[in-house]
Amino acid sequence: MALEVRLRARGPIPLDVAFRAEAGEVLALVGPSGAGKTTVLRSIAGFWHPEAAWIAVNGTTWLDTEARVNRPAHRRRLGVVFQAYALFPHMSAVHNVMAAMECADAAEARRLLHLVNLHGLETRRPAQLSGGQQQRVALARALARRPQALLLDEPFSAVDRATRERLQEEVSALRAHLDMPVVLVTHDMAEAQLLADRMVVIVAGHMVAEGPTAAVMADPAALRAMGIRELAAMLPATIAEQDADGLTRLDGPAGPLFLPGLSDPPGTRVRMRIPAQDVILSRQRPEGLSAQNIVPGRVLRSVSGTGPGVLVHIDVAGHEIVARITRRAALQMDLRPGDLVHAILKSMSVARGQVIRAPDGDDD
Amino acid sequence: MDWTALWLSLRLAGWTVVFLLPVAVIAGRALAYRRFPAKGLVEALVMLPLVLPPTVFGFYLLVAFGGNSPVGDLWQRLFGHQLVFSFEGLVMASVIFNLPFAIQPAQRGFEAVPVEVREAAATCGMSPARSLWRVELPLAWPGVMTAMVLTFAHTLGEFGIVLMVGGSIPGETRTIAIAIYDRVQAFDMQGAATMSAVLVGISLVTIALTYWLSARVGRRLS
């Protein structure tokens, strides 16, 4: 199963994108607001028709402007989670889910609501549910049709931060159940990095970068488009134990790491997002520092851009992290490939919102 | 009290509602959702009966339905009697002059259904007909209902157009509004008063129903 998309339009929303999302893969469409991400999603769903387009799912053509093929929206077997959820206000949660089924099956609808962690609220109407709960119903409804592709349009933008972090974790955990291509539209680089296998960066309707998440995050064109502040690396770790003082100890690739309380049980494998601007470098292992997380590594290379900053790529036991330091600091430290450095990670910067459970079978 | 006239008015209003219900749903939905080049013109035309003097509108309908017009001629050949000054002609005129009362509230009702909710219905696999039945009508029905209530009430009270197209034939085209006028002409103030009171009662119930329904619209979509 795969979703293949090629779109081109001159106006009113200029568009020139082509990508492919494989079954079971999460592809993030990232870009600033107004870049045309949602238009791409609406084209796939059949609510928008670009001048030239070709969309196919599992080899079946849904839209081909040249061959004049255009499958109407209701005959495209899709699950869509809309930005504002768009639940049916006159139906209860369970009926919202059943509305998307060919043969209404209440038991199956309840199972789906349980799958998205909505318990005991099946008979409530959307107006009686919180934003996060509505989001879960919307997700269950999107899955109810057994979709050939799942489209998520800024699904976490309308909820508060704590709910967003919990939902992101749940979606990540849900991935084991998803065997179709998933397209996630977001303007949040961190969210894309936490959830997506591959990324497409769109600016003003054009693709500026495309590829595996790690590669896109290292792509200068993508960083120019999204802003250097978004640059971050991912580090795997395993939860070791919950300390009495509220910190969680994790086993990282180069020693223990301490994070503010994570709820997952010991043994859970997670991935941490380490923003480049939150990494401080030191040649000696620093003593008497308030920062708890110091990992040793070796300098791979330094990349200087046009600004006052330098990106230093560091190998940490086989994993690459990036530090963004000033050009002056880089000159003073005289960092060369192969040099031993200590990367100081600010504890709170790798806090809850930057950690996500690793998908099953993730070996790195 | 002219019970024949009241019954005729109720029948006229009932048939008008029956014919206008599908028109209101189809036209109101199209005007609410679709964009087409002459949309403004169509909306203006729908509103025209609201601003034209009833006698002027009635005059044109009389000419359009008369024996010399294609419509009147066809009717005469099909059914063997003329269209003007008949109950059927009255129903036809009533359907036309009630278009704004039927379409406008229905259009507002459909406009209140968020576009994302309609799109969600499509991505749930609902065909346009199914989406109308399961999602749009349940959300827009208070608007449609208001349209029908207004149409019913307005038909009961219409005077000028009915007089122009139907005249005042007892049991055929003499509605309660015209019967009241006839009573006053005949100095039967008591009869006119009774019938007027009945009309006031019906109108009050209608307005109350309309307000109650529009309050429901607000509650449903909040």
Residue range A168-221, pLDDT digits in tens: 888 888 888 889 999 999 988 888 888 899 999 999 899 999 999 888 887 878
Of the listed ranges A333-337, B26-30, B105-109, the least confidently predicted one is A333-337
Contacts of A100 in chain B (CB under 8 A): 123-125
Q: What is the pLDDT of residue A287?
A: 83
Contacts of B123 in chain A (CB under 8 A): 45, 73-74, 76, 78-80, 100, 142, 145
Which residue range(s) make up the domain with B139? 3-221
- CA distances to A276, A337, A342, B181 from A345, rounded to whole Å, are 9, 21, 10, 91
Pairwise CA distance, residues A166 & A325, whole Å: 32
Stretch B130-157: mean pLDDT: 92
Stretch A344-355: mean pLDDT: 66
Interface mutation target, options B115, B118, B123, B135, chain A, most CBs of A under 10 Å: B123
Q: What is the pLDDT of residue A363?
A: 45
Comparison of pLDDT for B206 and A180, the residue scoring more: A180
Interface mutation target, options A39, A48, A74, A145, chain B, most CBs of B under 10 Å: A74
CB-based contact B120 A88, cutoff 8 Å: yes
A47 → closest Cβ in B119, B127, B128 = B119
Burial of A169 (0-12, 13-18, 19+ CB in 10 A): buried
Q: What is the pLDDT of residue A194?
A: 85
Contacts of B135 in chain A (CB under 8 A): 88, 99
Q: Which helix (H) or strand (E) holds A257?
A: strand A255-260
> What percent of chain A stands above pLDDT 90?
43
Q: What is the pLDDT of residue A364?
A: 43
Distance of CA A67 to the CA centre of its chain: 35
Interface mutation target, options B113, B115, B116, B124, chain A, most CBs of A under 10 Å: B124
Give the domain CATH number at B41.
Answer: 1.10.3720.10
Stretch B181-188: mean pLDDT: 93
Contact between B133 and B121 under an 8 Å Cβ cutoff? The reply is no
Residue range A33-66, pLDDT digits in tens: 888 899 999 999 999 989 999 999 998 999 999 9
- The two tokens of residue A241 are 């134990």
Q: What is the pLDDT of residue B218?
A: 62
Interface of B with A (CB under 8 A): 114, 116-117, 119-128, 131, 134-135, 138-139, 220-222
Which residue on chain A is closest to B125 by alpha carbon? A74
Of the listed ranges A9-13, A114-118, A128-132, B200-204, the least confidently predicted one is A9-13
Give the 3-state secondary structure of B121-139. HHHCCCCHHHHHHHHHHHH
Flag whether pLDDT at B221 surpasses 60: no
Residue range B18-53, pLDDT digits in tens: 999 999 999 999 999 998 889 999 999 999 988 999
CB-based contact B220 A141, cutoff 8 Å: no
The total domain count for chain B is: 1
- Closest-CA distance, B115 to chain A, in angstroms, reads 9
Flag whether pLDDT at A340 surpasses 70: yes
Nearest residue to B33 via CA among B131, B123, B126, B102: B131
Provide the 3-class DSSP secondary structure of residue A67: coil
Q: How far apart are the first and last CA of chain A?
A: 25
Can you say whether the dihedral through the CA atoms of A221, A226, A229, A233 is positive or negative?
Answer: negative
Of the listed ranges A260-274, A330-344, B83-97, the least confidently predicted one is A260-274
- Check residue A285 and report its DSSP letter: P
How confident is residue B122, by pLDDT bands cut at 50, 70 and 90?
A: very high
Amino acid identity of residue B171, one-letter, is G
CB-based contact B123 A76, cutoff 8 Å: yes
Stretch A307-317: mean pLDDT: 86
Flag whether pLDDT at A361 surpasses 70: no
CB-based contact B116 A82, cutoff 8 Å: yes
CB-based contact A74 B116, cutoff 8 Å: no
B125 → closest Cβ in A45, A74, A127 = A74
Can you say whether the dihedral through the CA atoms of A213, A218, A223, A227 is positive or negative?
Answer: positive
Pairwise CA distance, residues B53 & A42, whole Å: 48
- Closest-CA distance, A128 to chain B, in angstroms, reads 10
Contacts of B116 in chain A (CB under 8 A): 82-84, 86
Contacts of B222 in chain A (CB under 8 A): 127
How confident is residue A108, by pLDDT bands cut at 50, 70 and 90?
A: very high
CB-based contact B122 A99, cutoff 8 Å: no
Contact between A247 and A260 under an 8 Å Cβ cutoff? The reply is yes
Q: What is the pLDDT of residue A362?
A: 47
Give A9's Cβ-side CA count (13 Å radius): 19
Q: What is the pLDDT of residue B196?
A: 93
- The two tokens of residue A280 are 């401080």
State ipTM: 0.81
- Closest-CA distance, B41 to chain A, in angstroms, reads 25
B123 → closest Cβ in A80, A84, A87 = A80
Contacts of B127 in chain A (CB under 8 A): 74
Can you say whether the dihedral through the CA atoms of B102, B105, B109, B110 is positive or negative?
Answer: positive
Interface mutation target, options A38, A48, A76, A88, chain B, most CBs of B under 10 Å: A88
- The two tokens of residue A163 are 């709910």
> What percent of chain A stands above pLDDT 70?
96
- The two tokens of residue B200 are 């006031």
How confident is residue B119, by pLDDT bands cut at 50, 70 and 90?
A: very high
Q: How far apart are the first and last CA of chain B?
A: 46
A90 → closest Cβ in B120, B123, B138 = B138
